[in-house]
């Protein structure tokens, strides 16, 4: 048998032991609970039955003897108050006695209620005898010797029945309390014994669980301190702990791969930024500017040539920015102004430009070469594609504690389908839209995903590119 098979069998046995511990505690407790519940239910039914008997017996007319004796007396003397034989009262007492007879279990109580039933029947017979007797003296004699005596006995036996039932009710209550106390004591003692065995068994079992968990905690502390070397998983008898240990080591392995991947992506990002900066010093832009400069000199436009040279010098100086990756809005504005001055001299019949950035905005920072690709797109894809003169506007403002820079042109604009393609190019890795995508990603890397570029455009109306950056004035805690 292999090692894995043996460990699997051991885990199954461990699980069975855990179930045995649970059954060891739960089954006896369930049995005790069932016994307690059964005893309580039995006592409750018996108590309720006796209480119902007492309640039913209390419905018996307490003045039964006086009422029956008086009505019989009026009947015997043939008084004007006579209502006939009081059979109704006797029948009511008889019905109560019959109901109690069927629900009574105690011997003394049953004997007493049985006597009430017999006496009620005897009383009805004696009443009929008086009704059949014509002689007054005989009727009076029967009233005194029969009726008065029987009604007295009926009332006494009913009181006797109540006495026995009340005494039994009190005895049952006392016995119930005593038995419940005994059962509770037994339950407590039994529970303590079970608790002892449970603690003894769980102590042995817990060591097989706690020790591997302690080792896993130590492993996690080491990982938290930077120890990312892949180790052998901790061997445990509990399957869940084994899965946890295996998962931690797999997580460490994936984390190492992810760190390596992120490192490579960071290198790629650096290479992309370098390519972007190299792309900004466009040889074609330089060649075209030099051609324009030669043409101006040959035409005798020395002052215009001087302006181009000054603007070109400023353009390259701000492009380099002493090696800085983050510059102020003011420095970016000067760079764009130099670029537009050169382009306006080349395309003076096609392009005008306006720059309106408030002073309070110029102190905030942004990645270098953020606006130049946007302005270049506005010129070459917006203004030059029209047959009329166009204007490029660069504006800035503070809105909702953010800096908003807008580059707007009134060129040819874009269709809705083309606009969606350009917007999608900001996040995909296609070659199309490299300049705008790089600007967008650099802003998000530096400031967060809530910042970057937004594009609006309508055909034959122009395009607006909105650059959103935070109001930050220092790059000490940032790396691009």
Q: Is 113 helix (H, G, I), strand (E, B) or coil?
A: helix
Burial classification of residue 460, based on how many CB atoms lie within 10 Å of its CB (0-12 exposed, 13-18 middle, 19 or more buried): exposed
The per-residue pLDDT for 269 is: 66
Burial classification of residue 101, based on how many CB atoms lie within 10 Å of its CB (0-12 exposed, 13-18 middle, 19 or more buried): middle
The per-residue pLDDT for 407 is: 94
The per-residue pLDDT for 396 is: 93
Here the tokens at position 95 are 């019905």
Dist CA 272 CA 77 (whole Å): 132
User: Do the beta carbons of residue 351 and residue 344 sit within 8 Å?
Assistant: yes
Dist CA 455 CA 418 (whole Å): 11
The per-residue pLDDT for 319 is: 63
Q: To the nearest 10°, report the CA torsion of 385, 389, 394, 397.
A: -110
Here the tokens at position 286 are 């330089």
Which DSSP letter does residue 440 get? H
| Bridging pattern class, strands 365-367 and 390-399 | unpaired
What long-range pairs does 127-135 form, CB within 8 A, spacing at least 24?
Answer: 127/72, 127/85, 127/86, 127/87, 127/90, 128/85, 130/72, 130/75, 130/76, 131/75, 131/85
Burial classification of residue 278, based on how many CB atoms lie within 10 Å of its CB (0-12 exposed, 13-18 middle, 19 or more buried): exposed
Burial classification of residue 292, based on how many CB atoms lie within 10 Å of its CB (0-12 exposed, 13-18 middle, 19 or more buried): buried
Going along 425-476, which residue ranges are E strands?
A: 452-458, 462-470
Q: At what angle do helices 148-224 and 3-57 cross, to 10 degrees?
A: 160
Residues 6+ apart with CB under 8 A from 160: 112
User: Do the beta carbons of residue 471 and residue 401 sit within 8 Å?
Assistant: yes
Dist CA 472 CA 357 (whole Å): 16
The per-residue pLDDT for 8 is: 47
The per-residue pLDDT for 429 is: 63
Q: To the nearest 10°, report the CA torsion of 33, 35, 37, 43.
A: -150
- Average pLDDT, consecutive stretches of 10 residues, N- to C-terminus, the chain (480 residues): 46 59 71 75 73 72 80 84 84 85 84 87 87 86 86 86 80 76 79 76 70 75 71 67 75 80 70 54 64 71 75 68 75 87 83 91 87 87 84 92 92 89 80 74 84 91 92 63
- Measured between alpha carbons, how far is residue 90 from residues 59, 93, 94, 142, 412 in Å? 13, 5, 6, 17, 116
Burial classification of residue 396, based on how many CB atoms lie within 10 Å of its CB (0-12 exposed, 13-18 middle, 19 or more buried): buried
The per-residue pLDDT for 358 is: 93
Dist CA 160 CA 113 (whole Å): 9
User: Do the beta carbons of residue 402 and residue 469 sit within 8 Å?
Assistant: yes
Which DSSP letter does residue 224 get? H
Q: Is 135 helix (H, G, I), strand (E, B) or coil?
A: coil
User: Do the beta carbons of residue 307 and residue 345 sit within 8 Å?
Assistant: yes
Q: To the nearest 10°, report the CA torsion of 15, 20, 25, 31.
A: 130
Burial pattern 174-200, b for ≥16 Cβ within 10 A else e, equals eebeeeeeeeeeebeeeeeebeeeeee
Dist CA 82 CA 475 (whole Å): 119
């Amino acid at each position: 048998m292999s090692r894995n098979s043996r460990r699997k069998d051991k885990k199954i046995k461990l699980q069975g032991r855990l179930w045995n511990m649970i059954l060891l505690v739960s089954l006896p407790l369930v049995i005790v609970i069932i016994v307690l519940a059964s005893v309580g239910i039995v006592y409750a039914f018996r108590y309720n039955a006796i209480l119902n008997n007492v309640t039913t017996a209390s419905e018996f007319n307490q003045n039964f003897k006086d009422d029956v004796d008086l009505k019989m007396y009026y009947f015997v003397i043939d008084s004007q108050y006579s209502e006939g034989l009081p059979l109704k009262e006797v029948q009511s007492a008889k019905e109560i006695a019959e109901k109690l007879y069927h629900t009574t279990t105690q011997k003394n109580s049953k004997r007493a209620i049985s006597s009430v039933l017999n006496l009620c029947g005897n009383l009805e017979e004696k009443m009929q005898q008086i009704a059949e007797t014509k002689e007054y003296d005989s009727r009076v004699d029967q009233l005194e010797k029969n009726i008065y005596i029987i009604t007295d006995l009926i009332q006494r036996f009913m009181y006797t029945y109540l006495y026995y039932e009340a005494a039994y009710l009190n005895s049952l209550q006392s016995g119930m309390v005593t038995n419940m106390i005994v059962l509770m004591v037994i339950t407590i003692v039994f529970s303590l014994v079970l608790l002892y065995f449970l603690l003894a068994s769980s102590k042995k079992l817990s060591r097989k669980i706690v020790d591997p968990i302690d080792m896993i905690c130590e492993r996690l502390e080491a990982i938290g301190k930077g120890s990312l070397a892949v180790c052998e998983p901790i061997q445990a008898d509990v399957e869940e702990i084994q899965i946890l240990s295996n998962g931690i080591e797999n997580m460490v392995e994936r984390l190492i791969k992810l760190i390596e991947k992120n490192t490579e992506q960071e290198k790629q990002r650096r290479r992309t930024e370098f390519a972007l900066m190299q792309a900004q010093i466009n040889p074609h832009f330089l060649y075209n500017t030099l051609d324009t400069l030669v043409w101006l000199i040959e035409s005798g436009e020395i002052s215009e040539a001087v302006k181009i040279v000054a603007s070109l010098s400023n353009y390259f100086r701000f492009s380099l920015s002493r090696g800085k990756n983050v510059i102020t809005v003011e420095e970016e504005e000067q760079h764009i102004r130099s670029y537009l001055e050169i382009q306006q001299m080349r395309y003076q019949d096609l392009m005008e430009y306006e720059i309106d950035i408030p002073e309070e905005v110029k102190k905030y920072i942004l990645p270098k070469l953020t606006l130049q690709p946007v302005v270049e797109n506005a010129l070459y894809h917006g203004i030059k594609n029209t047959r009329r003169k166009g204007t490029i506007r660069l504006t800035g403002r503070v809105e909702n504690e953010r800096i908003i820079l807008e580059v707007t042109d009134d060129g040819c604009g874009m269709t809705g389908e083309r606009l969606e393609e350009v917007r999608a190019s900001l996040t995909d890795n296609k070659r199309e839209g490299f300049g705008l995508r790089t600007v967008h990603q650099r802003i998000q890397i530096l400031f967060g995903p809530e910042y970057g570029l937004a594009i609006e455009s309508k055909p034959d109306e122009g395009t607006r590119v909105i650059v959103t950056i935070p109001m930050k004035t220092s790059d000490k805690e940032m790396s691009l």
